[in-house]
Amino acid sequence: MANISVQRIKREFKEVVKSEEVAKCAIRVELVNDNYTELKGEIAGPPDTPYEGGNFVLQIKVPETYPFNPPKVRFVTKIWHPNISSVTGAICLDILKDQWAAAMTLRTVLLSLQVLLAAAEPDDPQDVVVAKQFKENPEMFKLTAKHWAEVYAGAPSNTPEFNVKIKRLVDMGIDEHRARVALSSCSWDLEMAIETLFS
């Protein structure tokens, strides 16, 4: 890895580790294999959002051309959000693409992702199914996002009725995650989910 990017990442890494603002926002970053090219980030779900109480893990890959090119970031923790793929964890955020500037840092990226959880951009979606639900049925979106945060990010549980429907599909031989995706995509309409899965 180019020396300039290693020095820069080391400095930013310390900045994130020591920053009070970052600690207050419950954001963390750690090295993977003592290597500055791959980091593991964590952000807490922001208060007053469906993600509150959840802890979301991120994979951060730092290119040799950093800081002139953005880090490649994706959600490892599964999440139901219009700008994050529910399948791959890919993120649609302008600063991770064409709006990146060399003055931006790891701290900027982590805080921006936390803001994205609180303020989705459904008109520029990464996940079209989630964005459609977000726009057409906001209450159902909130419940679904909350359920995913409980199951995958350890948020407090308060959607037990969804688990009953998932169990019905699991009893039919469907894998639990596949059942959850089908139900989430069909706004928890069991009949519709069964039709989708078995058609």
Q: Are 162 and 112 in contact (CB under 8 A)?
A: no
Dig out the tokens for 89 from the structure. Answer: 């964890």
* Side chain identity, residue 126: Q
Neighbouring CB atoms inside 10 A of 6's CB total 16
Report the SS3 class of residue 192.
Answer: helix
Contacts of 37 (CB under 8 A, 6+ apart): 1, 61, 62, 64
* Side chain identity, residue 168: R
The alpha carbon of residue 148 and the mean position of all alpha carbons in its chain are separated, in whole angstroms, by 11
Residues involved in catalysis: 92
For residue 32, which of 2, 68, 71, 4 has the smallest C-alpha distance?
71
